[in-house]
Structure 1
Amino acid sequence: MSKQHSLRLGVLLLFLGLLLGLIISSGFDLTQTSLSSPPVVPVTNVPNFQLGSQKRVPQKLLDLQSTSEAFIYISELVVPSVVTIQSTRLIKRADVERFHDRDDLRRFFRFKVPKEFRQRGAGSGIIVSKDGYILTNVHVVDKSERIRVILSDKRAFDARIVGLDPLTEVAVVKIEAADLPVVKLGDSDKTRVGEWVLAIGNPLELQSTVTAGIISAKERSIDIISDTYGVESFLQTDAAINPGNSGGALVNLRGEVIGINTAIATETGYSVGFGFAIPINLASKIMTDLIRKGRVERGYLGIGMQDIDEKKARALKLDRPMGVFVSQVIKGEPAERAGVRTKDVILKIEGREVNKSNQVQAIIAKRNPGDIVLLELLRNGRKVELRVRLGIKETGETNFATKSFPKDFENLGLTVKDLNRKMAKELDYSGTSGALVTDVQRWSPASEAGIRQDDIIIEIDNKFIRNENHLYKLVSNLEGGSVSIFTVIRFKEEVHVFVEIPQK
């Protein structure tokens, strides 16, 4: 090959290489994409660039914000006045066996049914006076050996029962305190179906819980009070009410308590949207009687009643079911003396229409003996007005002001015995003084403090314990409501336990 030919071939190959490189760089991407982010190029020259909607918030939503702020304000206002109530009851085996199969009890207690045991309960209450009167439910505190009230700021007090009224489920307890936050009581008669309410209490021991709902109905009777003279005229709400809410507050959007949360209708044991509260107007009357008199004196007509349904309305020649049918008039009682007869239909009391028996009961229950009420009756197709001076219906003595609770050593919930050398050796304890704990009752002050079976109590407040009798003498001299430091030996280690001494 000539030298000139070789030169031409080289130039040609160089030209083809350059041409191929241009084609590749312009039309194909045969290189691996870089893993680094491409440079951010700012958007420019775009007029009025904005993200998201710039529409104004509709007035309807702003109105809802006002409701939300009301909920917040009311919660902050009322929560400090709602307390937790812890109760301890001493249950005897004989009482339990009346309602439960003995074999079931053995399985529950793991073969051996104790002669007696303590049961702990929890509920809520409402502070109604600065010096410590608290409104709650009967079933929260009834038959309690000890009642403990815990404020929203975590201060705790022992409480005593002032009075109970099983016919309305209203109870009053008292703690020794001052300058407590107090709720404002409203007028439950003015409450309307559909208005917003808040339920405030301590459900499932969740302190200071607030739930919201509406008044679903008024003057409900749900048959939870078995007594013939029981008064059931509950406010119904769909605000969540659960175990532990009993005795708590039902509050309107004016920050006023209009009801005492009392019961739920449920098949599960928990809220399904049907809660019931005692109207505060009724509760206030009962509470005032219990505080001032130690018992309830309620107005009394002396009649038996039935609700009127469609069938009864036809028999009574009524255009529609209305009023309350008088099925019985008790001889010598206020209604008979005023001229009320059987088969009368009560249409109004003091100008207020009544269509259910529990309405009549609630109206009369809020009156005092000696009050005169105007009844509008329908008798044989004619309207009749009668004035009745109410009699007195007492429910028995309910004053608990002087009731005393156990003062003895067992009120701590402890059983102890002298420690001998054999027992000390078995527990690997080198000493011989002290008192051996042989039993601790559940929910007792000792149990709650953390004392255990087989602990050896060797000191109380730096005072050495020689034996059981010495322990008894020291504990007997401790002030009720004080907290003492018990030093115990547990697995060869000293443990310090803080025990609150029950009130004497």
Structure 2
Amino acid sequence: MKKLATLLIVSVLGGVLTLGSYKLFFEEEPISSNFALPSTEATSNFIPANYTDRVYGTNADFTEAAENTVHAVVHVKNVAVFNGSRNPFEFYYGRRGGSEGKAVQGAGSGVIITPDGYIVTNNHVIEGASELEVTLNNNQTYMAEVIGTDKASDIALLKVDAEGLDYIPFGNSNNVRLGEWVLAVGNPFNLKSTVTAGIVSAKARDLNTADAIPQSFIQTDAAINPGNSGGALVNINGELIGINTAITSKTGSYVGYAFAVPSNNARKIVEDIMEYGDVQKGILGIRGYSVTQRAVEEFDLDATQGVLVADISPGSGAENAGIRENDIIRKIDNIEINKLSDLTGYINSKRPGDKVAVTLLRDGREREVTVTLTKYEVYRIRSIGLEVANASKDELRRYNTDYGVKINQILRNDLPADELAGNIITEINNEEVHNIQDVERIIEGKRSSDPVVVTFIDENVEKQRVVWR
């Protein structure tokens, strides 16, 4: 009987252990389709971080965009042709096998934008080239012709003699959003057909606040290195939204900050070069500044963002539309204008004669005016390497003169750009100049052998006189 009781107890214990093991190791917990939040009392100090209208994730597929773009990004080699000696042996004994020498002066990337061989790249990639070699992803090489350049925007247009090429369609860079996935396609460090991914970090980024005309770049954290210049920044659909142009780095290589010319600006420049032979720049006709806290306090402004109008150009579209000094521009064509580079970036995608709707604040009230853009007029004195533009009243006052034209851009590398740009030229060949028409008349009327004598006022408001022969 004792043995029977013992056996019974052992059997019961065994059954309990077996059932427990099954529950513990094999039976699944029920899964709820809803995530329950703690009770209201426990969560009164917390805000749920859930968004029901949009799903975000990091599982974006870049393969299609990469495959559709990598064959349309080319390797651009800047080849210099020279006659000098390349080494001491050639200096003493002369060059063998021909009188000319060739050397790759620089290399970058380019983007095919039409199947018949038009290519966009950076001006600094091809500047000073004697010859340009373009190599496709399939290793086929062409010699390229420079169709036109715009140094101010660092864009150049090339052409190769080919048909049926892969190309990248332009996207609308105005629609680019912060945090949007992008790919950078190019040839960094001569590594052909490299694709890197990142997001849009900022829009309308101005890298040079001292420049008279603010820049307006798309900033991305996609890795861009030397050799990527002129390559493509594309969205997840494989559309061209920017031309990779610059990096900010203490080392010279990528550290997380890279910049691209917006595709709308690049496309407009390319179309201008193809249709007109040069860039047609439209302007509002204002001089303005980004609204800052200091400006808010000094002028008792009604907004903390926008562009404060400081000066109006006579006869400009802004003057004709009734824009006044101290107006604050907030939108153009419903594009938000938070700083000066927002304004210049958008206007640089337009042409003279285009009409834009400008939303502005005046005395605390919002109003909208329609402005017809006027042509940005400059004249290039190619013989001395200076580009001049009409000066505003504010610029003339700053240099303590009643007349003159502004040195807008330096066209020669051997001239001190930092010292000359922005100065006011008051006389050329001892004749007063009041506008660029005066400059053109004097320069075109002189003999080619005559020197050019320029009198200008420098940043210290002192007159200088330079003779170019």
* 1:165 aligned residue: 150
Tell whether 2:167 aligns with 1:199. no
Look up the match of 1:228.
212
Q: 1:127 aligned to 2:118?
A: no
- Superposed, 1:26-425 pairs within 5 Å as 67=60, 70-89=61-80, 120-223=105-208, 228-229=212-213, 232-394=215-377
Could you say if the C-alpha distance between residues 91 and 327 of structure 1 is closer, same or farther in structure 2, counting changes exceeding 3 Å?
Answer: farther
Q: Distance in 1 between matches of 2:180 and 2:134?
A: 31
AA of the residue aligned to 2:316: E
Q: Distance in 2 between matches of 1:65 and 1:319?
A: 41
Amino acid at match of 1:305: G
Letter in 2 for 1:273: G
- The AA in structure 2 aligned to 1:210 is V
What TM-score, normalized by structure 2, do the two folds share?
0.62
**Contact 2:77–2:104 (CA<8 Å) still a contact in 1?**
no
* Identical columns (%): 42
> 1:212/1:222 Cα in 2 relative to 1: closer, same or farther (>3 Å)?
same
Q: CA RMSD in A?
A: 2.8
Listed one character per residue, the Cα deviations across residues 1-30 of structure 1 (whole Å, up to 9, x for unaligned) are: xxxxxxxxxxxxxxxxxxxxxxxxxxxxxx
> 1:266 is paired with a residue of what secondary structure?
coil
Distance 1:314 1:92 in 2: 62
Q: What's the counterpart of residue 458 of structure 2? A: none
Quick one: distance in 1 between partners of 2:288 and 2:297?
18
SS of the residue 1:292 aligns to: helix
Once the two structures are overlaid, the 10-residue window that deviates more, 369-378 or 128-137, is 369-378
Partner of 2:376: helix, strand, or coil?
A: strand
1:113-158: CA deviations, max 9, x gaps?
xxx9966100000001111000111111122111110000001111
Displacement after TM superposition at 1:394 (Å): 4.9
> How far does residue 319 in structure 1 lie from its aligned partner after superposition?
4.9
Residues 369, 392 of structure 1: 8 Å contact kept: yes
2:78 is matched by which residue type in structure 1?
Answer: S
Q: Does the 8 Å CA contact 1:308/1:325 hold for their aligned counterparts?
A: yes
Aligned equivalents of 1:187 and 1:347: distance in 2?
21
Residue 331 to residue 118, structure 1, CA distance change in 2 (3 Å): farther
Amino acid at match of 1:85: V
Q: In structure 2, what is the Cα distance between the partners aligned to 1:375 and 1:158?
A: 45
Q: 1:294: Cα distance to partner?
A: 1.2
Counterpart residue type for residue 215 of structure 2: E
Name the SS of the counterpart of 1:182 in structure 2. Answer: coil
C-alpha contact 1:295 1:396 (8 A) present in aligned 2: no
Between stretches 348-357 and 315-324, larger displacement belongs to 315-324
Structure 1 residue 254: deviation in Å?
1.1
- Structure 2, unmatched stretches of 5+, are 1-55, 85-90, 92-100, 381-469
Comparing 190-199 and 328-337, the one that deviates more: 328-337
Would the aligned equivalents of 1:89 and 1:120 in 2 still touch at CA under 8 Å? yes
Distance 1:261 1:72 in 2: 20
Q: Distance in 1 between matches of 2:222 and 2:336?
A: 28
Greater CA radius of gyration, 1 or 2?
1
The separation in 2 between residues aligned to 1:240 and 1:392, in whole angstroms, is 37
The 3 A distance-change label for structure 1 pair 203 and 396 is farther
Structure 2 partner of 1:420:
none
Secondary structure, counterpart of 1:140 in structure 2: helix
How far did 1:267 drift?
Answer: 0.6
- Segments of 5+ residues of structure 1 without an aligned counterpart are 1-62, 94-109, 111-115, 398-504
Give the C-alpha shift of residue 389 in structure 1: 1.2
Task: Report the Cα offset of residue 292 of structure 1.
Answer: 1.8
**Counterpart amino acid of residue 301 in structure 1:** L
Contact 2:302–2:364 (CA under 8 A) maintained in structure 1: no
Deviation of 1:195 after TM superposition, in Å, equals 1.5
